[in-house]
Amino acid sequence: MNTTRTVLITGANKSIGYETARQLGRLGYRAWLGCRDVARGEAALKSLVAEGHDVRLLTIDVTRDESVRAAAARVRDEDGRLDVLINNAGIPGDPHAAPSQQPMENIRAVYETNVFGPIRVTQSFVPLLKSAGRGTVVMVSSRLGSMGRLFDPANQCYGVNILGYNSSKSALNAVALAFAKELASVGIKVDAVDPGYTATDFNNHSGYRTVKQAAAGIVWLATQNPTEPSGRFYFEQDQIPL
């Protein structure tokens, strides 16, 4: 059985997920690159291996039960456990549609990836996190899911009124809290993190933060002692309101 600390990152073939794998690789982690697109995943794998990182490609579609179960079975068979799970995969939906005009099928797609995906993946990998003795789950969320910020006219988030995406991240924060409350007794820490407004394909690279800055906050949270308080929401290294 592998004794190297292991991490699974969903949506790891590019941007924040890819950079998170790189930074954790520098800390000695074996990173499972969770990717739906095999070709892009293989390109990411090749690049990280060339840098000397211990990485493996894991084909996983977080919206499909059978794909997630198969991914969990492979990690179980090859490593026997998982130390850190980072639920990073997400989609924006239609950020330009008014709430009254966003199609239901679009909202459903957002929830399937951003909410049901992390639930599905976490439920499937809990046995492997338990096998590690102590484990960590990080939900990559957004301050756009913070009800307090969205309700405050003085906050910069107030004017970003994206029904599907914002509410999916509010739901994800609640999902993180629910898992945190259940799993604390078995030594598994679950928290949410806001990577900030980062320049990625999500926003046509209009964000003011780099993927290195975004990943650094995720890596910090992923490497905290699992015995510390759970069910929190962070930006960089500061706790922020859910």
Which residues are designated catalytic? 165, 169
The secondary element (H helix, E strand) that includes residue 71 is: helix 65-78
Closest C-alpha to 68, from 58, 60, 77, 80: 60
Work out the angle between the directed axes of helices 163-183 and 104-111 (0-180°, nearest 10).
30
User: What count of other Cβ atoms lies within 10 Å of the Cβ of residue 19?
Assistant: 23
- Distance separating alpha carbons of residues 146 and 5, to the nearest angstrom: 32
192 is written with which tokens? Answer: 């949410």
Q: Determine whether 210 is exposed, middle or buried from the number of CB atoms within 10 Å of its CB (0-12, 13-18, 19+).
A: middle
Contact status, residue 206 vs residue 196, Cβ threshold 8 Å: no
Report the distance separating Cα 152 and Cα 141, nearest Å: 19
3-state secondary structure of 32: strand
